[in-house]
Amino acid sequence: MHEKEIKEIIKLFFGKRFSKDVQLRFRYWFRSEEDRDEKEDALQEIWETSPSDISEQTWSRLSEMQDRISKSRNVTLPERRNRRWLKYAAVAAVWILTVFTTRYFSEQDVKIVSPKLTEFYVPYGDKQEITLSDGSVVWVNAGSVLIYPSEFTAATRTVFLSGEACFKVAKNPEQPFIVSTKHLDVQALGTVFSVDAYPGATETIATLEEGSIQVDTKPSMTSASVLKPNEQFIYSHLTHRATINVVDAEQVSAWKDGYLIFKNASFEEVTAALERKYNVTINYNAEKYKGRTYYVKFNPDESIEDALLILKHLIEDFRYRITGQTISIN
């Protein structure tokens, strides 16, 4: 089969909602040794020419997978079979879509899944700092997945994020830096900004600390929004509307230094952040705390018990019980 034909088959599969039978046939064909080099070359070219073109279905599968990882925390790894197949799947960002039966995550943060693509996962209870090949620094928060090429050879420096990260981007006007999430594309030339795009959240948020960023929604609602320092772009997944607020951007990204700072935050937002930071599961009566908002700060050296005591002093009739890694709140 010619490489052009292979490329067309793979392109056709991207973003399409095929039946399970067709997906199985595609996986069987793609995993076969026939035309292996041509398949790899086709995937690499597709990646480099359209790095931000990931389908809604792929993002959904990534979110589903990340939810399972976050909830299970302690993952039992399947046998490491067919590793060669894994690297090709990752290159095209079909990662989750086509190969979940042979895909796995471990508690190790970094795994090379392709000669040119790295998948960086930070489990609950942790946060990590990494430096990309262009010199850009990224702080990745707990329960997040960052996927990036080991070398930026395309026209743009595009990375993919599900979760939360803070970026200090190395300047290169000739090669814009783009953070692609399920709902937003955030572009910067040289700046410091953070993106909050956890699966299951009702909003995706981009906050600018230094420099300038351009934010586009998916699909694009209107013209792109250009933010100034200390501005925050909030896109609602429910209403498909965006708002821009003035905030203290350094406080928004204070998690990278171990702080959790909330202003007018829902109880759900507070507990979700505590779950990620301390690697715990928090159960509570959602109806009781519905509509309430809180202003609260947690310091780096505080334990989960300390955090719960702070909430106890803040909230009337607040009681809790800790059983292992599970916390029950009345």
Expressed as residue numbers, the domain containing 235 is 3-251
Tell whether 168 and 311 lie within a shared domain. Answer: no
- Per the CB < 8 A criterion, the answer to whether 154 and 48 are in contact is yes
Q: Which of 224, 251, 278 is the last residue of a domain?
A: 251
The single-letter code of the amino acid at 291 is G
Tell whether 214 and 304 lie within a shared domain. Answer: no
Task: Check residue 199 and give its pLDDT.
Answer: 84
Tell whether 299 and 222 lie within a shared domain. Answer: no
Using CA of residue 131, residue 187, residue 255, residue 272, what is the dihedral sign? negative
State the average pLDDT for the chain. Answer: 77
Q: Which of 201, 233, 251 is the last residue of a domain?
A: 251
Q: Label residue 121 by pLDDT band (50, 70, 90).
A: confident
Tell whether 283 and 140 lie within a shared domain. Answer: no
CATH assignment of the domain containing 314: 3.55.50.30
CATH assignment of the domain containing 225: 2.60.120.1440
Higher pLDDT, 196 or 12: 196
Tell whether 129 and 167 lie within a shared domain. Answer: yes
What's the domain count of the chain?
A: 2
Tell whether 263 and 243 lie within a shared domain. Answer: no
Tell whether 309 and 213 lie within a shared domain. Answer: no
pLDDT digits (tens, 9 = 90+) for 31-50: 555 666 666 666 556 555 55
pLDDT digits (tens, 9 = 90+) for 262-300: 999 999 999 999 999 999 999 999 899 999 999 999 999
Q: Taking 70 as the threshold, does the pLDDT of residue 175 lie above it? A: yes
> Distance between CA atoms of 235 and 206, rounded to whole angstroms?
9
Tell whether 193 and 275 lie within a shared domain. Answer: no
- Per the CB < 8 A criterion, the answer to whether 236 and 222 are in contact is no
pLDDT digits (tens, 9 = 90+) for 8-21: 665 555 544 444 44
Q: What is the mean pLDDT of residues 199-215?
A: 93
Q: Taking 50 as the threshold, does the pLDDT of residue 149 lie above it? A: yes
Q: Taking 50 as the threshold, does the pLDDT of residue 138 lie above it? A: yes
Q: Hey, how many other C-beta atoms are within 10 angstroms of the C-beta on 87?
A: 16
Tell whether 286 and 194 lie within a shared domain. Answer: no
Supply the pTM of this predicted model. 0.68
Phi, psi of 280 (to 5 degrees): -130, 165
Q: Which of 219, 251, 283 is the last residue of a domain?
A: 251
Higher pLDDT, 317 or 28: 317
Tell whether 191 and 110 lie within a shared domain. Answer: yes
Tell whether 57 and 191 lie within a shared domain. Answer: yes
